[in-house]
């Protein structure tokens, strides 16, 4: 595989920093451009961070002194220096929609962590182990945009990253209803305990917009390409409550599921343990060796021990049992800024490079 030059838009943020740590030694991708707001532009990356580095490993030496570009005002310079960009910015959704389309129309593919284009019908929202076939919609999107190379592909919301993969292998039992309560880490809001001290010893029972995304986005992932768009699935019926908890990294979900043809518990565990990712995903550099990990011990999965499993790319599941109201219930978790954000986006980019959508 050739080396691709990549840009990170939003490089100083929580997800952007995660991109930097995942990409600086990546076998296919070479960080060529770092970009952020006009406040950071013109500084070195280290200066622009201004003490905000939140990763456990230090800022990579070869990245520290790279210049930071302005995401909005340096578009031409950026697109001329890269093969594609990753985008994770904290801006108004309406501004992000325009920004991402401007990059795509300038023939620069955009792999986005933002929610702005998740509902655009010809923009694929790909979990490579679940719906890699949605990449084909890029042909229709390019027609609409009038581009040869440029397109937008999006990563789903981090909240659903553990329960959609856990339920996916069970769909043929006729999943009819899903109830989920998520317990989400503070890094999901781009925060740490020092930048958000109110979260120490606290729970906040509301995350703006999260429940709508958690209920709607799985239906796009489970949707089908029809003509020039992805038609969202009409079932299962999903209801969620999303809660912010005092955890640095890692989102947990308590999940209840009803089926038309309820399977036995051991059939479900077997589906999880034997789940094989689609062939095109298996050998990508960031793909976990085993995607779904089931824990028999009811004390697991715990955030501290499970979030780094498979370099943070695994989904951990436990406490499967029957329920008096729903057919089954279980608990699952994944790392929100790795699997749920930057890592998931890097894996999607690897998939799109290997399939020739980025070249
Ligand atoms: P963050 O830590 O607040 O970082 C925001 C980034 O956006 C910074 O690089 C910032 O640059 C840049 N930015 C802010 N205002 C800008 C502007 N007007 N023009 C250009 N750049 C601007 O946010 P985050 O947590 O990384 O989240 C970024 C995106 O990823 C959001 O859309 C979020 O919903 C999504 N996401 C986050 C997670 C997660 O777990 N955190 C998971 C999935 C998706 P400066 O440093 O120069 O201000």
Mutate to test the pocket of ligand 1, among 8, 9, 10, 209 (most ligand atoms within 8 A of CB): 10
Has 353 been annotated as catalytic?
no
pLDDT band for position 2 (cuts 50, 70, 90) = confident
Q: Are residues 144 and 64 in the same domain?
A: yes
Is residue 1 predicted with pLDDT exceeding 90? no
Which residue owns the Cα nearest ligand 1 atom 30?
A: 88
Atom 19 of ligand 1, residue of closest alpha carbon: 37
Of 354, 275, 353, 347, which Cα lies nearest the Cα of 18?
347
Query: 281 near 132, Cβ under 8 Å?
Result: yes
Active site residue 158: yes
Residue nearest to atom 16 of ligand 1 (CA): 37
220 and 138, same domain (yes or no): no
Which sign does the torsion angle of CA 62, 351, 95, 116 carry? negative
Expressed in angstroms and rounded, the spacing between residue 14 Cα and the centre of ligand 1 is 7
* Minimum-distance ligand 1 atom for the alpha carbon of 11: 9
Q: Which of 54-58, 213-217, 326-330 has the lowest mean pLDDT?
A: 54-58
Mean local confidence (pLDDT), 147-162: 97
Ligand 1, atom nearest to 49 Cα: 46
> Do 32 and 51 sit in the same domain of this protein?
yes
Residues 234 and 294 occupy one common structural domain: yes
**Distance from C-alpha of 225 to C-alpha of 274, rounded to nearest angstrom:** 27
Between the CA of 237 and the centroid of ligand 1 the distance, in Å, is: 31
Whether residue 11 sits in one domain with residue 78: yes
Q: Per the domain annotation, does 226 fall within a domain?
A: yes
Distance CA 325, CA 256 (A): 9
The answer to whether residues 103 and 162 belong to one domain is: no
| 179 and 54 belong to one structural domain | no
Rounded to whole angstroms, how far apart are CA atoms 186 and 193?
A: 8
pLDDT digits (tens, 9 = 90+) for 270-294: 999 999 999 889 899 999 999 999 9
Which residue owns the Cα nearest ligand 1 atom 33? 114
How many domains does the chain fold into?
2
Q: Could you tell me the CATH number of the domain that includes residue 205?
A: 3.30.360.10
Determine the structural domain holding residue 55 and report its residue range. 4-157+341-354
Contact 164, 207 (CB under 8 A): no
Q: Per residue in 22-73, pLDDT tens?
A: 999 999 999 999 999 999 999 999 999 999 999 999 999 999 999 999 999 9
Q: Which residues line ligand 1 (CB under 6 A)?
A: 10-16, 36-37, 39-40, 71-72, 88-91, 113-115, 158, 187-188, 190, 336-337, 340-341
**228 C-alpha to center of ligand 1: Å?**
31
Say if residues 243 and 181 touch (Cβ distance below 8 Å).
yes
| Rounded CA separation 315/113 (Å) | 19
Q: Whose CA is nearest to atom 1 of ligand 1?
A: 13
| Active-site residue (options: 26, 87, 117, 158) | 158
CATH number at residue 34: 3.40.50.720
55 plus 129 within the same structural domain: yes
- Does a structural domain hold residue 114? yes
Q: DSSP letters along 64-119, please?
A: HTPBEEETTT-HHHHHHH-SEEEE---S-HHHHHHHHHHHHHTT--EEE-SSTTTT
Whether 226 and 349 share a structural domain: no
The pLDDT mean for the chain works out to 97
Which residue intervals of the chain are DSSP H helices? 14-23, 45-49, 61-64, 75-81, 93-105, 138-145, 163-167, 210-221, 265-273, 279-282, 303-306, 309-312, 343-354
Residues 68 and 148 placed together within one structural domain of the fold? yes
How would residue 174 be classed by pLDDT, with cut points 50, 70 and 90? very high
Sign of CA dihedral 115, 147, 227, 280: negative
The answer to whether residues 294 and 331 belong to one domain is yes
Q: Please give the Cα distance from 238 to 243 (Å, whole number).
A: 16
Residue 279 pLDDT: 87
Q: Among residues 26, 117, 134, 251, which one is catalytic?
A: 251
Cβ count within 10 A of residue 58: 9
What is the total residue count of the chain?
359
Residue 359 lies in a domain: no
Are 345 and 320 in the same domain? no
CA distances to 156, 167, 334, 338 from 111, in Å: 11, 25, 20, 15
């Amino acid at each position: 595989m050739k080396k691709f030059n990549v840009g990170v838009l939003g490089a100083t943020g929580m997800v952007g920093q995660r991109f930097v740590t995942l990409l600086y030694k990546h076998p296919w991708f070479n960080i060529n451009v770092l970009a952020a707001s006009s406040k950071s532009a013109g500084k070195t990356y280290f200066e622009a961070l201004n003490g905000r580095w939140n990763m456990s490993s230090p800022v990579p030496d070869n990245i520290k002194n790279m210049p930071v570009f302005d995401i909005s005002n340096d578009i031409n310079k950026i697109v001329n220096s890269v093969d594609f960009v990753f985008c994770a910015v904290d801006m108004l959704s309406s501004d992000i929609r325009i920004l991402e389309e401007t990059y795509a129309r300038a023939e620069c593919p955009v792999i986005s962590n933002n929610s702005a284009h998740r509902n655009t019908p010809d923009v694929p929202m790909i979990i490579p182990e679940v719906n890699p076939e949605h990449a084909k919609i890029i042909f229709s999107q390019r027609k609409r945009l009038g581009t040869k190379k440029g397109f937008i592909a999006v990563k789903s919301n981090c909240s659903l990253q553990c329960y959609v993969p856990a339920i996916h292998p069970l769909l043929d039992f006729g999943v009819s209803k899903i109830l989920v309560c998520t317990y989400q880490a503070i890094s999901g809001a781009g925060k740490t305990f020092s930048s958000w001290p109110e979260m120490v010893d606290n729970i906040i029972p509301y995350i703006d917009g999260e429940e709508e995304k958690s209920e709607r986005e799985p239906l796009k992932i489970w949707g089908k390409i029809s003509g020039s768009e992805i038609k969202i699935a009409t079932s299962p019926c999903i209801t969620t409550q999303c809660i912010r908890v005092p955890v640095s990294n890692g989102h947990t979900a308590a999940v209840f599921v009803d089926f038309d043809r309820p399977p036995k518990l051991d059939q479900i565990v077997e589906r999880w343990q034997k789940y094989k990712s689609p062939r095109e995903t298996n050998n990508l550099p960031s793909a976990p060796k085993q995607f779904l990990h089931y824990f028999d011990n009811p004390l697991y999965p715990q955030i501290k021990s499970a979030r780094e499993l498979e370099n943070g790319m695994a989904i951990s599941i436990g406490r499967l049992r029957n329920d008096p109201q729903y057919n089954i219930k279980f608990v699952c978790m994944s790392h929100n800024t790795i699997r749920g954000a930057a890592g998931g986006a890097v894996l999607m980019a690897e998939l799109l490079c290997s399939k020739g959508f980025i070249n």
